[in-house]
C-alpha cells in the first residue's frame, strides 16, 4: 500500500490552507498514494488560541469537512484530515471550547472515523509558551479503523495527534498495524525528541508510523519542526522531508514486512499485565 505523509506551513487564512492542502493531496495521489495524511492544524495556524474557535464546525458538516470529503472522492484517496476544530456544544452559537479532531474519509468521501486529541500540549520555553487546554477539550478514547487496501490486505490504522506521542500506553492499547501521528511540534521540542519518539513508537508496537508535520515559519511567527517521516515496524526510516516547507513524503506499507517483524520478535504477545508497585515494608 502506497502512503503519503504531507508537510505544510499553514497560514492564518482558512481558504489559503485548503487550496494548499488540495495541491499536496493531488501530488500524493499522482504518485500513487492510497492513504494520505495531513498535519495537525492543516486548516489554520491562527494568531491566537481562540482563532480555532472562529472556524470550529459542528460534526457532520462545514467547509473543512466538505473539503476533506470532496478531496477523498475526487482523488479516490483515504484521507486523514490532520486536525480541525469541532464544536463541543451543538446548541451554542458561539463556541468557547472545541475538540482538536482528526477525521478520516474513505475514497467515496464518507467519514469513517473521528479521533479527538486526548493529551493537550503545554510547554514553556523563554518567550515561547503554549497551553492547548485554554480553548480545547480533550477526548477520552482511542480510535482505530480498518482500511481494506487494493493490495488485498486489511490494515488496522490507529489515530493519534502530536503530543499524544509522549504517551506510549495509548499506542499499545490500539493494537494497530499503522499508526498516524499528524503533528505541529515546536522547533525546540522537535529537534530534541521528534524522531526518537516516533521510532520508539514504531519499535514498541512493531507497526508502521506515519508522521506528517507542520514545518517552517508561520505567519503567526511560530516555528514548527517539520521533518515529516514514515517509519517501518523495525524503526527504520522509509522516507523523510529533511527541509522546511510544504511537500509530500511517500513510502510503501508492506503487510509481509509487518508480519515478518512480528513473527521474529513476538513482543506484542509477551506483554504482561502488572499491578501497581507495593511499597517496601508495607
Residues known to be catalytic: 40, 117, 162
Q: Are 268 and 205 in contact (CB under 8 A)?
A: yes
The alpha carbon of 271 is separated from its chain's Cα centroid by a whole number of angstroms, namely 26
CA–CA dist 28, 10 (Å, integer): 18
Number of H helices, E strands in the chain: 7, 17
Question: Looking up cell 492547548, which residue turns up?
Answer: 132
Q: Are 213 and 184 in contact (CB under 8 A)?
A: yes
Question: Looking up cell 502512503, which residue turns up?
Answer: 3
Question: Looking up cell 524503526, which residue turns up?
Answer: 235
The alpha carbon of 182 is separated from its chain's Cα centroid by a whole number of angstroms, namely 2
- For residue 82, what are the CA distances in angstroms to 7, 106, 146, 175, 281? 10, 15, 18, 21, 49
Amino acid at each position: 500500500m502506497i502512503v503519503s505523509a504531507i508537510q505544510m506551513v499553514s497560514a492564518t487564512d482558512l481558504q489559503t490552507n485548503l487550496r494548499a492542502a488540495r495541491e499536496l493531496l493531488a501530488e500524493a495521489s499522482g504518485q500513487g498514494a492510497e492513504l494520505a495524511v495531513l498535519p495537525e492544524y492543516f486548516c489554520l495556524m491562527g494568531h491566537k488560541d481562540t482563532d480555532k474557535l472562529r472556524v470550529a464546525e459542528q460534526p457532520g458538516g462545514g467547509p473543512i469537512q466538505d473539503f476533506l470529503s470532496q478531496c477523498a472522492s475526487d482523488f479516490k484517496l483515504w484521507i486523514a484530515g490532520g486536525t480541525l476544530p469541532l464544536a463541543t456544544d451543538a446548541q451554542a452559537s458561539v463556541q468557547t471550547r472545541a475538540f482538536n479532531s482528526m477525521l478520516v474519509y474513505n475514497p467515496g468521501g464518507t467519514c469513517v472515523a473521528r479521533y479527538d486529541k486526548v493529551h493537550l500540549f503545554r510547554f514553556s520555553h523563554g518567550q515561547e509558551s503554549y497551553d492547548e487546554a485554554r480553548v480545547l477539550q480533550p477526548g477520552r478514547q482511542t480510535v482505530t479503523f480498518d482500511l481494506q487496501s487494493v493490495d488485498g490486505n486489511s490494515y488496522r490504522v490507529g489515530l493519534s495527534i502530536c503530543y499524544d506521542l509522549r504517551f506510549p500506553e495509548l499506542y499499545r492499547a490500539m493494537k494497530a498495524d499503522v499508526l498516524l501521528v499528524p503533528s505541529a511540534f515546536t522547533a525546540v521540542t522537535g529537534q530534541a525528541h521528534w524522531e526518537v519518539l516516533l521510532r520508539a513508537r514504531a519499535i514498541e508496537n512493531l507497526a508502521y508510523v506515519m508522521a506528517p508535520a507542520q514545518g517552517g515559519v508561520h505567519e503567526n511567527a511560530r516555528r514548527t519542526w517539520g521533518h515529516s517521516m514514515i517509519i517501518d515496524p523495525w524503526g527504520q526510516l522509509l522516507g523523510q522531508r529533511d527541509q522546511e516547507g510544504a511537500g509530500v513524503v511517500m513510502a510503501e506499507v508492506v503487510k509481509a514486512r509487518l508480519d515478518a517483524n512480528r513473527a521474529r520478535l513476538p513482543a506484542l504477545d509477551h506483554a504482561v499485565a502488572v499491578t501497581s508497585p507495593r511499597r517496601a515494608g508495607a
